[in-house]
């Protein structure tokens, strides 16, 4: 039997001062800015609230139910609580700097539970489900889940990993619609019989869209802009590499002295 275990997999039940100092190397808890305590079997957050300057915190993969000790963390920017046993998010209402919150894989049952976070004006990225790890919450089964979340958080930019506003959002939605259409052509991995169908829209639909700057045109423009930026970055990177190579070459040349 192998008794060697990864440091992040050593189980403990409660966050203590000793645990925090051993994981961060900091003597003063107020000096801790980044903290990763995932997959430790933690169910009691203990003295975590003493890390008042904490900015990024990862507590994923534990057994946490009570978030009360997190309420003093007013400078917290990013919080990962995925794969725990959380049903109540109200204690996070005082984390006024919070921008990103991951609570996928918990037991949040109602959209009403999220109303307590409405005061978090800076919150722009929230995740309640994660298809990559098959994490979700009971609330995600609500057919109106997505529009209700966006209504509560009008400043939301990313929901469940999908950009809802800003650069790339229209392109993402277009690709998603196409993907959903293709999936509808298959059943149990088999291509359904393709038969002639009625047009999705009236004949005049596309003419109207063209005159109002169609979503496809806008998505294409956004994609072109991103591609242009990538090319500029590549060009700049190539220039910097060449410049550094010349500098290194000059430094390695033997020194010549005038006679």
Q: Which residues lie below 8 Å from residue 145, measured CB to CB, with a gap of 6+?
A: 111, 139
Task: Tell me the Ramachandran region of residue 252: left when phi exceeds 0, alpha when psi lies from -120 to 50, beta otherwise.
Answer: alpha
Structure tokens at 144: 């109106």
Residue 54: predicted pLDDT: 97
> 10 Å Cβ neighbour count for 110?
13
Residue 245: predicted pLDDT: 76
The span from the CA of 252 to the CA of 237, in Å, is 23
Interhelix angle 169-183/215-252, nearest 10 degrees:
120
Q: With H, G, I as helix, E, B as strand and everything else as coil, classify residue 154.
A: coil
Rg (CA), the chain: 26
Residue 84: predicted pLDDT: 98
Q: Which residue has the tokens 């930026």?
A: 229
Cβ atoms of residues 93 and 119 within 8 Å:
yes
The span from the CA of 36 to the CA of 8, in Å, is 8
Residue 7: predicted pLDDT: 44
Sign of CA dihedral 64, 65, 68, 74: positive
Residue 83: predicted pLDDT: 97
**Residues present in the chain in total:** 259
Going from N- to C-terminal start, the domains of the chain cover 1-165, 166-251
CATH-assigned architecture of domain 1-165: Alpha-Beta Horseshoe (3.80)
Residue 165: predicted pLDDT: 67
Tens of each residue's pLDDT in the chain, 259 residues: 333 344 444 578 999 999 999 999 999 999 999 999 999 999 999 999 999 999 999 999 999 999 999 999 999 999 999 999 999 999 999 999 999 999 999 999 999 999 999 999 999 999 999 988 999 999 999 999 999 999 999 889 999 988 886 544 444 555 555 556 555 555 555 555 555 555 555 555 555 444 445 555 656 666 776 677 777 778 777 777 877 777 777 766 666 555 5
Q: With H, G, I as helix, E, B as strand and everything else as coil, classify residue 10.
A: coil
The span from the CA of 23 to the CA of 38, in Å, is 11
């Amino acid at each position: 039997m192998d008794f060697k275990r990864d440091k992040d997999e050593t189980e403990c039940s409660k966050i203590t001062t000793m645990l925090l100092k051993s994981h961060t190397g900091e003597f003063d808890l107020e000096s801790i800015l980044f903290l990763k305590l995932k997959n430790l079997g933690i169910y009691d957050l203990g003295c975590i609230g003493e890390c008042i300057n904490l900015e990024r915190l990862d507590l994923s993969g534990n057994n946490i139910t009570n978030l009360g000790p997190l309420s003093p963390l007013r400078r917290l920017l990013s919080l990962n609580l995925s794969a725990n046993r959380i049903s109540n998010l109200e204690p996070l209402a005082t984390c006024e700097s919070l921008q990103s919150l991951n609570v996928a894989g918990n037991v949040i049952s109602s959209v009403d539970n999220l109303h307590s976070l409405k005061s978090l004006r800076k919150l722009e990225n929230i995740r309640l489900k994660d298809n990559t790890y098959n994490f979700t919450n009971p609330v995600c089964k609500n057919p109106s889940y997505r529009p209700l979340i966006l209504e509560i958080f009008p400043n939301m930019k990313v929901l469940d990993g999908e950009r809802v506003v800003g650069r790339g959002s229209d392109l993402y939605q277009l690709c998603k619609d196409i993907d959903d259409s293709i999936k509808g052509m298959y059943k149990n991995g088999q291509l359904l019989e393709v038969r002639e169908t009625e047009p999705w829209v009236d004949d005049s639909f596309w003419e109207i869209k063209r005159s109002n700057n169609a979503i496809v045109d806008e998505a294409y423009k956004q994609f072109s802009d991103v591609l242009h930026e990538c090319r500029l970055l590549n060009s700049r990177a190539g220039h910097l590499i060449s410049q550094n190579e010349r500098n290194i070459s000059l430094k390695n040349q033997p020194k010549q002295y005038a006679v």
